[in-house]
Homo-oligomer: A and B are copies of this chain.
Amino acid sequence: MDYLSDERKKSDFDVEAMKVAWAGSIQEFQLSDRMAKLVANDPVFEKFTRPMLGRKELLKNTLRKSAHAWKLIIDLRLSEEEAKWLRLYVDEPAYTDLHWGMFIPAIEGQGTEEQKKKWLPLAKKMQIIGCYAQTELGHGSNVQGLETTATFDTRTDEFIMHSPTLTSSKWWPGGLGKLSTHAVVYARLIVGGQFHGVHGFIVQLRSLEDHSPLPGITVGDIGLKFGNGAYNTMDNGVLRFDHVRIPRNQMLMRVSQVTKEGKIMQSDVPRQLIYGTMVYVRQTIVADASKALSRAVCIATRYSAVRRQFGSRDGGPETQVIDYKTQQSRLFPLLASAYAFRFVSEWLKSLYLDVKQRLEANEFSTLPEAHACTAGLKSLTTTATADGIEECRKLCGGHGYLVSSGLPELFAVYIPACTYEGDNVVLMLQVARFLVKTVSELGHKKPVGTTAYMGRVASLMQKNSAVQTGKLIFMIKTQTCFLYVTNQ
C-alpha cells in the first residue's frame, strides 16, 4: 500500500502554485527544474556510492563530476544562472565552489580594471583554478590578526609573501590542498617597515606545466572532516610561504594601491563595498539554509507518514507516527521554518539590491542596519537548520542513523555553515552591539529599516493591545513575510 500518495491526496493547497511560490517565479521554477532533471538523469552525477569511497577515490570522483559539469556547461552553452543551478544539483562540495564563489568574485570586487582584464578570462575558462586563502591556523574570526606578511621590495617592484610562524599557515581554504593553481591570499601589507592593513594578493601556487608546488610554497591537504562523503570531497588545504616573490601588480588594488615608489594610495572607491559583498554572500547562505532544512524535513515527513508504531486495534495497522502529537510538535515547526527561511532569503535579496544601489550612489546610511539583518539572519537560520537536520534525523528513529537515510551526510555537510562566513555567536554579538548602538543614538539619529519602529517607541509604549487570543496564519503568497516559528 502506498501511504505517501494517500497523504498527498489530502493536501488542501495548490501544489503547483506552491512550487512556483517556492522558486520565486514560473521562470525560475522552470530553469531550476530543467537543471535538476539534467543532473538526475546523468549517470556521471550518481551520488549513491559516495559515502563508501575511500578519500583518494572520493577526490577523483569529484574531479570526474566537475569536469563533466564543465563540459555540459560549454556544450549546452548554459548561462551563468543555469550553471549555478547545475552545480547546486550536483550537490557535492568541490574546489569549483571556491573558484566560482570566492576567487572570481574577489577579483571582480577588489581588482582594478586592468587586473580583471588579465585574470578573469583565465579563471572563467578554468585555465587557472583559484582558491580563497584567508583563514589561518591561528586566526579565523579576527581577520585583522592574520600573520602572513606581504612585504614590498622597492628594489625589485615585488611583494615578498611570507609565513613567519606556525600559526600563520593558511588553514582550511577549499580547493587549496590538491587542486588550485592560484589563490587570493590575504596578508599584512608591509611597506617601508610599516603595517598598512590586511589586503588581498593573487599568488600562483602550482606550476601550470606539471602542477607541482612552486619554489618556496609548501601546500597540502588538512585531512578528514566530519562525515563519510560530506566535505571530504573538498581538498581543504594548508599553505606556507617561504619568502615567495610576486609582481607588485598582483596586489588587488581597486581600493588601495601601492606605487612602485612604495607609496600607499587610496582610490575613491568606498571601502564599504566590502560590506556589500558580505551582505550578498550571507543572503545566499540564508537561501541555502532553507534548501538544506527542506531536504531534511522532506525525508522526515515521508518517513513519519510511512512508519507506523503502536496503537494497533484488532490486528489492524498501527498508527502512522505523523499522527502523534510528539512527532508533530517537533516536525511541523521545522517545516514552517524551511518556508520562512526561503521567503526571508528573498527579502534579503531585495535588501542587498537596495544596498548595492545606494553604495553606488555613495549613500551608506542603511548599511549598518542591512549588515545587522544579514548577520543576524545568517546566524539564526544556520543554527536552526543545523539543529533541525539533527532533529529530523532523530525523528526517523534508528533508521535516521543509517547513511542510506541521507540525513547523516546532510548534517555533516551542512554544519560548517554555523562557523564559516562569520561564527554564529560572534555574529549575534555584532547584532547586539548594533541594536544597543541604535538605541543609544535614538536622540539624534533616525533608525532605519527593521529598526525604524524604535523611532516611534514613545507612541508605541502608550498603546495597549486588546487582543485576547491569537492565531498564526501562514501566507504563502506574500513572499516578503518574515516569519519564524518555534515550538518553544
- Chain A interface (Cβ within 8 Å of chain B)? 51-52, 54-55, 135, 138-142, 145, 171-172, 222-228, 231, 308-310, 312, 318, 326, 330, 390, 394, 397-398, 401-404, 408, 411-412, 415-416, 418-420, 423-425, 429
Question: B226 contacts A403, CB within 8 Å?
Answer: yes
Contacts of A142 in B (CB 8 A): 309-310, 318
Contacts of A397 in B (CB 8 A): 140-141, 419, 423
Nearest CB in chain B to that of A229: its residue: B224
Chain B min CB distance to A16 (Å): 34
Question: B141 contacts A309, CB within 8 Å?
Answer: yes
- Give the complex CA separation of A423 and B51 in angstroms: 27
Q: Which of B318, B403, B419 contacts A225, CB < 8 Å?
A: B403
Contacts of A418 in B (CB 8 A): 394
Chain B min CB distance to A108 (Å): 26
- Give the complex CA separation of A320 and B424 in angstroms: 19
Contacts of A222 in B (CB 8 A): 402
- Give the complex CA separation of A408 and B412 in angstroms: 9
Contacts of A171 in B (CB 8 A): 398
Chain B min CB distance to A345 (Å): 23
Chain B min CB distance to A476 (Å): 30
Known: A54-B54, A142-B309, A227-B228. 8 other contacts (CB 8 A): A52-B54, A140-B398, A142-B310, A226-B227, A226-B411, A394-B418, A398-B419, A401-B416
Nearest CB in chain B to that of A404: its residue: B223
- Give the complex CA separation of A226 and B402 in angstroms: 6
Question: B224 contacts A52, CB within 8 Å?
Answer: yes
Question: B398 contacts A420, CB within 8 Å?
Answer: yes
Contacts of A228 in B (CB 8 A): 224, 227-228
- Give the complex CA separation of A308 and B429 in angstroms: 18
Q: Of residues A55, A138, A228, A408, which shows the largest number of chain B Cβ atoms within 10 Å of its Cβ?
A: A228
Contacts of A419 in B (CB 8 A): 394, 397-398, 401
Chain B min CB distance to A487 (Å): 13
Listed A/B pairs (29) with beta-carbon separation below 8 Å: A52-B54, A52-B224, A135-B398, A140-B397, A141-B310, A142-B309, A142-B310, A142-B318, A145-B309, A145-B312, A171-B398, A172-B398, A222-B402, A223-B403, A224-B402, A224-B403, A225-B401, A226-B227, A226-B403, A226-B408, A226-B411, A226-B412, A227-B228, A228-B228, A326-B425, A330-B425, A394-B418, A394-B419, A401-B419
Question: A415 contacts B402, CB within 8 Å?
Answer: no
Contacts of A425 in B (CB 8 A): 326, 330
Question: B326 contacts A429, CB within 8 Å?
Answer: yes
- Give the complex CA separation of A394 and B418 in angstroms: 8
Contacts of A403 in B (CB 8 A): 223-226
- Give the complex CA separation of A402 and B232 in angstroms: 10
Question: A145 contacts B408, CB within 8 Å?
Answer: no
Contacts of A404 in B (CB 8 A): 223-224
Contacts of A310 in B (CB 8 A): 141-142, 145
- Give the complex CA separation of A420 and B231 in angstroms: 28
Q: Of residues A397, A404, A423, which shows the largest number of chain B Cβ atoms within 10 Å of its Cβ?
A: A397
Contacts of A402 in B (CB 8 A): 222-225
Given contacts A326-B425, A326-B429, contact A308 B138 (CB under 8 A): yes
Contacts of A145 in B (CB 8 A): 309-310, 312, 318
- Give the complex CA separation of A76 and B211 in angstroms: 55
Chain B min CB distance to A256 (Å): 23
- Give the complex CA separation of A145 and B319 in angstroms: 12
Q: Which of B55, B139, B424 contacts A309, CB < 8 Å?
A: B139
- Give the complex CA separation of A408 and B411 in angstroms: 11
Chain B min CB distance to A236 (Å): 9
Question: A416 contacts B398, CB within 8 Å?
Answer: yes
- Give the complex CA separation of A415 and B330 in angstroms: 18
